[in-house]
């Protein structure tokens, strides 16, 4: 990186300048929210959840359809022993629900159109996603 490029990177008014020497680096506008592979990584702290909707005081419900996304409140917080009800807009055939990780109480839901109620008996972070649509992701943070 030459001196001019270095100085340019210091100026906040042109912060959009790519300061990396790596021409293949990922653009800053790309997020992991639509990356199904990212959603499948693990059930630990969730990269695509910036905020968790606090549902610790009420029964949590999620409308399970195309609009499910972190920016629409698909990252929620509940307490140990609470339930989350996934209410399909159409059916689980249209949007197969996958809970990430062998320790996830969400499991898999690939049939039917009735609400699917999941109880969370232990604390942790539990990601979920649609098996068809990469943009449909969310997570449940379970606290003591
Ligand atoms: Cu879907």
Sequence-ordered list of residues with C-beta below 8 angstroms from that of 18, at least 6 positions apart, any chain: 25
Distance 135 CA to ligand 1 centre (A): 8
Give the DSSP letter string of 42-54: -SSS-TT-S--EE
Q: Is residue 80 part of a domain?
A: yes
The predicted model gives 34-43 an average pLDDT of 46
Distance 1 CA to ligand 1 centre (A): 44
Q: Is residue 106 part of a domain?
A: yes
Distance 131 CA to ligand 1 centre (A): 7
The predicted model gives 58-66 an average pLDDT of 95
Q: Is residue 52 part of a domain?
A: yes
Q: Is residue 25 part of a domain?
A: no
Q: Is residue 96 part of a domain?
A: yes
pLDDT of residue 33: 44
Q: Is residue 89 part of a domain?
A: yes
Distance 94 CA to ligand 1 centre (A): 6
Q: Is residue 115 part of a domain?
A: yes
Q: CB count, 10 Å around CB of 71?
A: 12
The predicted model gives 81-90 an average pLDDT of 97
Distance 65 CA to ligand 1 centre (A): 6
Full residue range of the structural domain in which residue 53 is found: 47-143
pLDDT of residue 75: 97
Q: Global pTM?
A: 0.70
Number of domains in the chain: 1
CATH classification at residue 78: 2.60.40.420
- Pick from 131, 134, 117, 142: nearest CA to 52: 142
Q: Is residue 63 part of a domain?
A: yes
């Amino acid at each position: 990186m030459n001196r001019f490029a270095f100085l340019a990177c210091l100026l906040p008014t042109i912060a959009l300048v790519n300061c990396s020497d790596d021409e293949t680096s990922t653009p800053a506008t790309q997020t992991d929210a639509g990356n199904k592979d990212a959603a499948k990584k693990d059930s630990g702290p969730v990269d695509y959840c910036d905020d968790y909707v606090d549902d610790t005081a009420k029964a949590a419900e999620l409308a399970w359809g195309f609009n499910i996304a972190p920016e629409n409140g698909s990252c929620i917080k509940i307490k140990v022993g609470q339930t989350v009800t996934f209410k399909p807009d159409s059916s689980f055939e249209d949007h197969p629900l996958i809970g990430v990780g062998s320790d996830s109480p969400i499991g898999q839901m690939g049939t039917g159109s009735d609400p699917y109620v999941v109880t969370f008996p232990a604390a942790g972070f539990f990601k979920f996603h649609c098996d068809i649509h990469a943009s449909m992701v969310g997570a449940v943070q379970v606290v003591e």
